Structure formats: C-alpha cells, structure tokens
Amino acid sequence: LCRSTQTSLSPHHTPGVAEQQTMRVYLRVRPFSREELADNEDQGCVAIESSQTVTLNAPKGSATMKSSERGIGMSIHKFSFSQIFGPETTQSELFEDTVKAQMSDFLDGENALIFSYGVTNAGKTFTIQGRPKEPGILPRVLDATFQHIGGRQYEGMDLKPYLRNDAQYLDPDQVKQERYSKAAIFVSLKEDCDPLRPSLFPSVLISFCLLLVSVNNSTETDSSQFALWVAFFEIYNECVYDLLQPSLCSKSKKRASLRVCDDGAGNAYVKDLRWINIQTLGEASRLLQFGNRNRSAAATKMNQSSSRSHSIFTMKLLKIDDCSTVRRISEFSLCDLAGSERCNKTKTFGERLKEAGNINNSLLILGKCINALRNNQTDSSYIPFRESKLTKLFQAVFCGKGRASMIVNINQCASTYDETLHVMKFSAVAKRVVQVITDKHLESLAPCLVGRDGKPLVRNGSIDSQALESYLSEDELLDEEDEADMSLLPQHEIVSMIENLRSKLLVERRRNLVQEMEIRKEMGDAMLQQIMESEELRTRQIEELKESYQEKLENTFEMYKDAIKEHAYQSAMNNLEDDYVPLDEFVAEQEKVEALKRKVSELESLTSSSRGGACSVQTADQSSQTPPQKATDSAADDRCNRLYREKCAIERMCEDKQQLILSLERRLMELSDTLQKVRDGFLEKSTDLEVLLRKSKSLEDVLRQNLEKDREIVSLKADLTKLSQTSPVQPKTKRGLLANIREAVTSPRRTTSGRTLRKTARTPHAKL
C-alpha cells in the first residue's frame, strides 16, 4: 500500500513532522455510446499517450479551433495527471489505483476526501456509485470498512458524532429516538420503492480489499470496537438539504434547508444534519437508495437524468475502547459534483437556468480556492473558502486536516470539446497544489465526549467519575419539603436506615432502568412489526375492496346498458309496428321500382317512336287511312296512360317509404341521445358512490382509533389501580419516607432532592 508523495522536509517521513504532498488528480475517460458513434462524435479529440499524459486535439467547428485559426491560442493541448484510466478501465481497477491508499488512511484514523469533477454526462455518478453489477467507489469503501471492523462492531447507539470532530453521549430516550428514526427510513423505503429494483450493492463485494483488511487487522491487536455513522446531504442552489429526511407529504411544501456553522475551532459543519448508525452493508445500500430518491435531478438535452446538485456522502468511524470512551474519529467524504455546463449546449431555461447558474458559480469558487492554494505556496493570498458552502465545508481538508484527491471524468465527444478543455485546465491547476498534511501525532486525536447537556464527560483521556455519578444519581434523591419524621428513632438507627435505603434505592433504580430499556425495546419492535403487518393487511383489503367494487360497477353498467337496449327496442317496436317494413322487402320493393322505371322509359321511347311513325304515315297518304289504324292508335294511348298511372303510384309509394326511413333515423338518434344521458347519470352516481365509500371508510378508521385509545386508557387505569393496591407499606403520614422513595422511582427527573437526604441525615443531630 505505497503512496507516492513529494516530501520537502526530509527524505523519510518521521512522526512529529508535517508531510507535504501534491494533490492526487486522476483522469477517467468515458467510452462512446452507440448514439454518439452514430452522430460522428468520435473525431480523435482525446489521445492517451501514456499512463500520465493525454493530448487534446481541437475538432473542426469548435471555438478552440476557430481561435487558433485566428492566431489566438493553440489547437493541441497536453496535460499530465497522477494516473489516467482509459475507456476500458473497470471499477475494480479504478478503486485499486485511486482510493485504496486513502481507504487505509481512513481506517488508520485520518480524514479523506474524494470528489468527482467533469462536464454533464461524463460519468461522475457512475464512478462514485456505479451500477448493481459494477459497484463504484462508495459501495467498495463501505464494504472495505465493514471487512475491517469484522466482529468488533459497537452494538450500542449511545455514542454519536457531535459538531465536526467530537462525540456525544446519548441517554436511553435519545438512543430510542435514533432507532425509531432509522426504522422509519427503512419502512418508508419498503413502502415506496420497487422491491424488484436491484441494489447498488451486490451481495458480495469480493477481494479488492482483502489485502487491505488483513494488513489493518494485523495492526489492531487491542480489543477496541468501532461504530460507523453516515450522513447524506446535497447542496442545491446554494442551500443544504438533508437527503435522509423523510419526504414531505405535500409537494407544495418546501424542504427545510440546513445551516453551515462553525464549531469554534475553525471547522465547518452542517447543523441539525441527520447521522444514521449502520450495522451492515445492506443498511448502507437502503440508505443510499433513500437518499438518491430525494436528490434533485432533471432532464437536459445532454443527459436525461442530470444531477442538479452537489451530493456528499460522509462516513465517520468511531474507535471505542473497553471503557466506552471514543479514542478517535476519522471521516471519509465522497462528493459527487454537479456537471459544469454551458446553457446553450444543454438548452436550459427557467428553473434549469437558475440551477445551472448556481452550479457554475460554486464550481467557479472551487476553482478560485484551488488556484489560491497553489499561489499561496509562493506568496500569502486570500483564499475565498467562505464564498461557497461547498468550499466552506471542505476547508479543513484542503488546509491539511486530511488528504484530498480528485477524479476528473471526461467524454471524448467533439461537440463538448470546449467544456472538456476547460475541465482539463482546471485539473492542471489542482495537480500543482501542495497539501501540508499535519501529522496525527502533532494533534490530539481523542475527541471530546459530551453529555446530553453539552458538557464534557471525558477529561484528560479518562472518564470523569464524579460527572458520571452525578449524572446517574442526580434524579434519585428526595425533595426538601418531603422530609420524613424520624424524631422517634435513635440517631445511629436513623443514619444506618438512610444509608441502607439509599443503596437499595440506587440498585433498584439501575435495575428498573435496565428493565425499562429492554421492555421499551421489545414493545417498540413489536409495535413496529404490528404496524407493518397491519399496513400490509390494510393494503390488501383496499385492493380487494377496489376490485370487488369495480366488478360490481361493471355488472351494474352492463345491466343498465342491457335494460336501455331492451327499452329502446320495445319502444321502437311499439311505435313502428304498423309501418315496419323488413329490410329484405324494402330492397325487393326498390328493385321492383327500378324495374318499373326502366319499363316506363322503354314504353315512353316506344310511344314517341310510334307517334312519329303515325304522323309521317298520315301526312304521306292521309287518304289511304282506314278505321282499323285509328283503333290501334287508341289502344296504344290507353296503354301509355295506364303505365303512367302505375308509375305515379310507384313514385308515391317510394316517397312514403323514404319518409318512413327518415322518421326511423330520427327515432334512432333520439334513442342514442337518451342512452348517452342515462350513461352520464350512471357515471355521476358511481362517483357519488365512491365518495360515500371513502367517507365511510375514514369514519370507520376514526372509530377504530377511538376504541383503541379507550382500551389503552382502561388498561392504564387498571395498571394504576394494581400499583396502588400492591403497595408493600402504608405510610403513616400523607408524605412519609416510603412514599417519597416511590415518588422518586416514578419521577426520576427531580434534581433538587440531593440536599434533602443530607438534611434528613443531619436532622437528628440538630434535635439531639
């Protein structure tokens, strides 16, 4: 586990001497996607020459190429890094060559910081978190930490990080609250998340840290225990938000932003940030899923799920000795920076434009701080850490209280070459920053342990027995006004009785506290399990009721539809019984009409031709006409008249049939309108029925809750009656000694009783 350092004080680092080291800056190149290759994005812009040198060639059409053609700047740039990882690099190889050294420092008690930097859609989140089959840096760091802890995990949750570098002692009520908060996160994640969604942590993260674990475990020969606490927050629009806070029920409510405060020693911390104690890798995976669900993300032209905030995942490892004293606290932070971008490339506007402005502003201040750190090596200059919350939080690490490294992510696309060049220039400045790492032997690593009142409980590396004794016994003494009447007993018997009762009271108090903690824990677990089971049962019942009501509504709708159809059919039959004509007969009548029309036209043509022939014959030989020819003409005229009358009758019949068809069509339209009105009325009634069902369900829930509260009140009254009936000794007076002892057991918060026993012990002396 070697680390390349640049030491200017001596060739070998010795304890008690500050170590100088340039900031480690790594480069990772993302491979092309199929869409980028189809869009001709591969124009040879990025050329990896060696493991530490890369060359950037400006493509045609870029702003850099246009400037070089005008004689401003160059089209080819070379950059050097601590190590370069090409597109074929795996997640395991990246961890081995970048994070493993800082992981060893973290397990050894030092602070570490890793942040990913790059343009949008460069692979920063993939590098930090990864995918289920390719876990990133964060899952591997957590797995290595649990491998290092092994079976030396501190089971209690009564020692919690406080401020930036201190620890806080929690009382049983606060420990119970921590457990409830943790369980609430897991329950909400179980309800809201898809159970088939794969975790970012595979079941076994293998062997990339086994050598590291074996080395660290060989150095830990004592019986110390470890507690791991994690926090997950984001910086969005220069506001800090806790990602482990339960989401709000209403989207209109805004999230509560947190303040960045100073602990008095120049160290910045996030006030009221939620820290969660994790025991397994599975709990860490669920917390990360819960935080990612609350993280601010949006779609831009360059990335469908672009991170619009800087997310920081922080781990604190507490080393605890046999006396429950925190010997040291080490911190490991992984920061996934939001992507730097140009608004005209990502097509941002409105709220996205405001987000992009805040992102670029915070990254600009980060660049100013890194540039000032590099210039501060030669001349003293102002470093603007406090101009941004991101740089303010990591000021201590940049100033020597830990090791910081940067993983620069870039893509090879020609369309984003100008942004990539800006990122590379920023990285070149960061690589020349020299960190002066203060040796851990020069500063006290034992944190300050404080109680629930904020006062220190550990002094000079040892537990203050007087403070703990007062912490345990300050609530167990009697009030001055409840003094017992001991004037009838001798002095020595009174003193011995008081001492005996005091010792018994303390023993009973401790036993009752332990029993109360166990009972509360069992009740809490049982209640949580019961709540989860009842919630699942209620969900199933709601689904069953929904399906049954939906089936009933569908059946009712079908019944109404059949009834409406039957009613329409019966009405039509009743109204058109006399004039109803079947379709076949109507078609046959139409065919007959057409045939008669054709015959009439033929007869008319025949009549016109016969009349023309008769006229011509009459003019040619009028004298030669005979009576039989006149008889033939009159017969033809009679036939034509008869055919004309038949034609008129057929046309009147056709007009009657057409009017009948029109009346039937109007009737059908009226029936359709009636059916639509009935359907609309049915839908309205269905909606009213659903509203009434919901109201009845809410009323049933309220009644059920009232019944549960009534049962609980009855049980509490019964318990109180039993306690009052089973009292072993009846007091002689209204406020005797045993009554005071019982009141002290039931009310342990009374703080003015310490003086009462001492006064009670001195009372016989005064009377004698």
Give CA–CA dist 174/158, Å, rounded.
8
Give CA–CA dist 553/559, Å, rounded.
10
Closest to 189 measured CA to CA, from 246, 271, 106: 246
**Is 124 within any annotated ligand binding site?**
yes
DSSP H or E run through 112 = strand 112-118
Contact 206, 144 (CB under 8 A): no
**Is 118 within any annotated ligand binding site?**
yes
Q: Cβ neighbours of residue 560 under 8 Å, at least 6 residues apart? A: 678, 679, 682
Residue recorded with tokens 């009973």: 508
Q: Cβ neighbours of residue 630 under 8 Å, at least 6 residues apart? A: none
Q: What are the backbone dihedrals phi and psi of residue 229, each rounded to the nearest 5 degrees, phi first? A: -115, 140
**β-strand pairing of 46-48 with 434-437:** unpaired
Q: What are the backbone dihedrals phi and psi of residue 342, each rounded to the nearest 5 degrees, phi first? A: -105, 135
Give CA–CA dist 110/445, Å, rounded.
9
**Is 122 within any annotated ligand binding site?**
yes
- Which long-range contacts (C-beta less than 8 Å, at least 24 apart) are formed by 493-501? 494/761, 494/764, 495/761, 495/764, 498/757, 498/760, 498/761, 501/737, 501/741
Contact 412, 400 (CB under 8 A): no
**Is 119 within any annotated ligand binding site?**
yes
Give CA–CA dist 480/756, Å, rounded.
4
**Is 125 within any annotated ligand binding site?**
yes
Give CA–CA dist 307/719, Å, rounded.
56
Give CA–CA dist 371/259, Å, rounded.
27
The tokens describing 322, both together, are 């046999």
Binding site as annotated, residues for ATP: 118-125
Binding site as annotated, residues: 118-125
